[in-house]
Amino acid sequence: MGNSKIEKMLLDPGFDYLQPYFYSNRYALRCELGIGNNTDEYMKNARLRAKQIYDILFPDGADAMIFNYWMYDWSDSGEAEEKQYDDPAEVIEVIKSRVHSEMRALRFLSEMLMKYRHVCVRGLKTYAEPGDPDLETTRRNRIICYSDGLGFDDIALINGQIDSEDNSDVSLVSVKNDLIMSVYDDRGCDIVFATYEKMKEFYPLLKPYFLSYDLEEMERRFRG
């Protein structure tokens, strides 16, 4: 990928890149995906609009993808956890849910690292704040996978985010355009730019997709 501005940001442990991406980054735009009068229409438009936005941002495909690998330390001192539940069946479901979540995250990580050249930025900030009991138990690494001409299944990754099937916060990266596209769910996506110039360049192209709720803030950013 070279020394693009967006790569320097991604390799910087001080670049948190946590949701909400739009409000946490100065040069960012927010687009609406799901619109419609019923569930089928809503989801169809979410996928269609995401694909249209993708085509604007990545005419030659994504150069890289990033995702979070979350690690939670379940080992702790305390009373038997099953005492928190009245139904023994709930205990089994909690265990199954924990194992499934860990397996899914590890499988995705393994598949990506096996296929793509990658860099790991470790020990990043999490959502836990001082005083939060999860502060010392939750860790986050940012994984950067490079396309190197292999390509990603970009639309499948985007649709996975729309359907909330993936818990890795997958985002696509363009070196040429110095940007990150992050679909947070079926409601919308945020596009974060490394520079004001790139945000200004793509502003009119993305304007038909803007989320009206944040339009005033986006206009303020565009005016600089």
> Which pLDDT tens digit goes with each residue over 75-106?
888 899 999 999 999 999 999 999 998 999 99
Give me the mean pLDDT over the 96-118 stretch: 95
Residue pair 178/6 in contact (Cβ under 8 Å)? The answer is yes
Helix axes 196-206, 215-223, angle to 10 degrees: 130
Give me the mean pLDDT over the 161-187 stretch: 90
Mapped onto helix, strand or coil, the DSSP state of residue 71 is: strand
Q: What is the mean pLDDT of the chain?
A: 94
Mapped onto helix, strand or coil, the DSSP state of residue 160 is: helix
Given the DSSP bridges, would you call strands 179-185 and 171-174 parallel, antiparallel or unpaired? antiparallel
Residue 143: pLDDT band (50, 70, 90) is: very high
**Lowest-confidence range among 12-16, 57-61, 163-167, 207-211?**
163-167
Given the DSSP bridges, would you call strands 138-146 and 64-72 parallel, antiparallel or unpaired? antiparallel
Rounded to whole angstroms, the Cα distance separating 99 from 102 reads: 5
Rounded to whole angstroms, the Cα distance separating 32 from 126 reads: 26
Chain-centroid distance, C-alpha 62: 14
Per-residue pLDDT at 167: 59
Q: Which two tokens mark 209?
A: 């997709």
Rounded to whole angstroms, the Cα distance separating 104 from 168 reads: 9
Per-residue pLDDT at 206: 98
Residue 7: pLDDT band (50, 70, 90) is: very high
Cis ω for the linkage preceding 20 (within 30 of 0):
yes
pLDDT at 1 exceeding the cut of 60:
no
Per-residue pLDDT at 133: 81
Per-residue pLDDT at 135: 84
